[in-house]
């Protein structure tokens, strides 16, 4: 049974064909990142327009790479939320039109659940019970997975998502958008102990996260310690988007950062961000007597996160699973797998399906 997955929740237009909910036959992702880069983040209006332009060619390409026809598709799984509503609508309307015209069953996939099913798309088996850490540009959540289809939220960010913090720090460091993968690479040559950025633990036993203070701490460090003398207090003139210099979070005056300091700042920021993710995830596993942890979402592609989580987990006998990087970031194979599982649990959507910018798992 072939499932066509469609994903348009943010700035990637994606379609995939998955056989029997587990075997990925094609996984096509058209990134719009070049269009958003000069704005330093996703511009929702541009994202919707680009999805409209890409969606049909991307679906055609997914069918062609899987060497099947639309007539062979038995299920359409589409991301219906959470995400940018204008972006989601392009996928949802396309899926509904195809389902109606070809009389194909339709299922609404949840984007966060999709990230967790990235593991399935990678050929791995979702373990139960387990704890899942979903870390992306829009989410930082910890879930307990007692059994298939059941998700208990254990903690989430109270402000910025960790991927958002990566991207904003990337902007402050003058790196190209998205900052996450660039900081990951840059940090490898830096000293993670160079700058003692605050670890945002909130209260000691809380499983919630907070990344906005860490992001601001990086900005103040640059302003006070890196800015040339006399420029420390003049941080309010906008620079024009992507640049080798630094706009403040929000906006601000450019501050050039010497190359030798860049890697240390990146590594120190990353260490602070990741230490908290690892600590809280393993605390959640311990509290719930769970011996398997799943990493999902774009930030799960981060090398230091995978390394530290695996090493620290080993010490407590916990196993860590994550998909390969291409299945951590947004894609439609994970949506097809999650949608198929929902369908098998008896979930179907009708033509009244709408996009939901917020859809708690």
Among 87, 136, 140, 292, binds Zn ion (CB under 5 A): 136
301 near ligand KG4 (CB under 6 A): yes
CA distance 329 to 162: 14
- The residues, ordered by sequence, that sit 6+ positions from 305 with a Cβ below 8 Å of its Cβ are 135, 274, 277, 278, 295, 299
Give helix 179-187 / helix 303-314 axis angle, nearest 10°. Answer: 60
Based on the shown chain and the rule CB under 5 A, indicate whether residue 264 belongs to the binding site for Zn ion: no
User: What number of chain residues touch ligand KG4 (CB under 6 A)?
Assistant: 19
Contact letters for Zn ion, residues 282-321 (x by CB under 5 A): ----------------------------------------
208 interacts with, out of Zn ion, ligand KG4, none, CB within 5 to 8 A per kind: none
Tell which positions 321-360 bind ligand KG4, by CB under 6 A: 329-330
Residue 43 or 68: which CB sits closer to Zn ion? 43
CB of 302 to ligand KG4, least distance (A): 3
For residues 153 and 315, is the Cβ–Cβ distance under 8 A?
no
- Does residue 138 bind ligand KG4 (CB under 6 A)? yes
Distance CA 50, CA 277 (A): 34
Tokens for 273, please give them.
């961000």
Q: What is the dihedral of CA 160, 187, 43, 358, to 10 degrees?
A: -30
CA terminus-to-terminus distance, the chain: 26
DSSP code for 343? H
List residues bridging with 6 in a β-sheet. 15, 78
Report the residue number, 227 or 263, with the smaller CB distance to ligand KG4: 263
Instruction: Please state, in angstroms and rounded to a whole number, the distance separating the CA atoms of residues 118 and 330.
Output: 9
Interface stretch with ligand KG4, choices 46-54, 56-64, 174-182, 251-259 (CB under 6 A): 174-182
Nearer to ligand KG4, 84 or 131 (CB): 84
- Cβ closest to ligand KG4, residue 88 vs residue 98: 88
The contact pattern for ligand KG4, residues 1-20, with x = CB under 6 A and - = no contact, is ---------x----------
Binds 163: which of Zn ion, ligand KG4, none (CB < 5-8 Å by kind) = ligand KG4
| Interaction of residue 330 with Zn ion, rule CB under 5 A | yes
137 binds ligand KG4 (CB under 6 A): yes
DSSP 10: S
Residues 245 and 348: their CA atoms lie apart, in Å, by 50
Contact between 277 and ligand KG4 per CB under 6 A: no
- CA 45 vs. chain centroid, Å, equals 20
In the complex, the smallest distance separating the C-beta of residue 297 from ligand KG4, rounded to whole angstroms, is 5
**Torsion angle of alpha carbons 45, 48, 53, 58, nearest 10°?**
140
* Residue 228 DSSP symbol: P
Query: Does position 86 bind ligand KG4 by CB under 6 A?
Result: no
Chain contacts with ligand KG4 (rule: CB under 6 A): 10, 136-138, 163, 166-167, 178-181, 184, 297-299, 301-302, 329-330
Chain contacts with Zn ion (rule: CB under 5 A): 136, 330
């Amino acid at each position: 049974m072939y499932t066509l997955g469609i994903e348009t929740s943010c700035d990637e237009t994606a379609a995939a064909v998955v056989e029997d909910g587990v075997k990925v036959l094609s996984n096509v992702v058209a990134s719009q990142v070049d269009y958003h880069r000069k704005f330093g983040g996703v511009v929702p209006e541009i994202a919707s327009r680009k999805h409209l332009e890409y969606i049909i060619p991307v679906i055609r390409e997914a069918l062609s790479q899987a060497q099947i026809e639309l007539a062979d598709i038995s299920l359409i799984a589409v991301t219906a939320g959470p995400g940018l509503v204008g972006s989601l609508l392009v996928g949802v309307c396309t899926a509904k039109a195809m389902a109606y015209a070809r009389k194909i069953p339709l299922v609404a996939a949840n984007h966060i659940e999709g990230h967790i099913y990235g593991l399935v798309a990678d050929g791995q088996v979702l373990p139960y019970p387990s704890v899942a850490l979903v870390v992306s540009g829009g989410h930082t959540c910890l879930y307990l997975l007692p059994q298939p289809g059941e998700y208990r939220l254990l903690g989430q960010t109270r402000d910025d998502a960790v991927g958002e913090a990566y991207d904003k720090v990337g902007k402050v460091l003058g790196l190209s958008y998205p900052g996450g993968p660039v900081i990951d690479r840059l940090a490898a040559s830096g000293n993670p102990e160079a700058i003692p950025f605050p670890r945002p633990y909130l209260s000691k036993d809380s499983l919630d996260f907070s990344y906005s203070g860490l992001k601001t701490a990086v900005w103040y460090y640059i302003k006070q310690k890196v800015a040339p003398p006399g420029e420390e207090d003049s941080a309010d003139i906008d620079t024009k988007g992507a640049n080798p210099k630094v706009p403040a979070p929000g906006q601000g005056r450019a501050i050039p950062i010497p190359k030798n300091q860049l890697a240390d700042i990146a590594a120190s920021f990353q260490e602070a961000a990741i230490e908290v993710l690892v600590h809280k995830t393993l605390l959640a596993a311990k509290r719930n007597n769970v011996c398997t942890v799943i990493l999902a979402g774009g930030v799960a592609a981060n090398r230091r996160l995978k390394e530290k989580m695996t090493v620290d987990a080993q010490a407590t006998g916990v196993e860590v699973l994550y998909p390969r990087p291409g299945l951590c970031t947004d894609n439609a194979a994970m949506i097809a797998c999650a949608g198929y599982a929902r369908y098998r649990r008896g979930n179907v959507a009708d033509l009244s399906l709408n996009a939901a910018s917020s859809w708690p798992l």
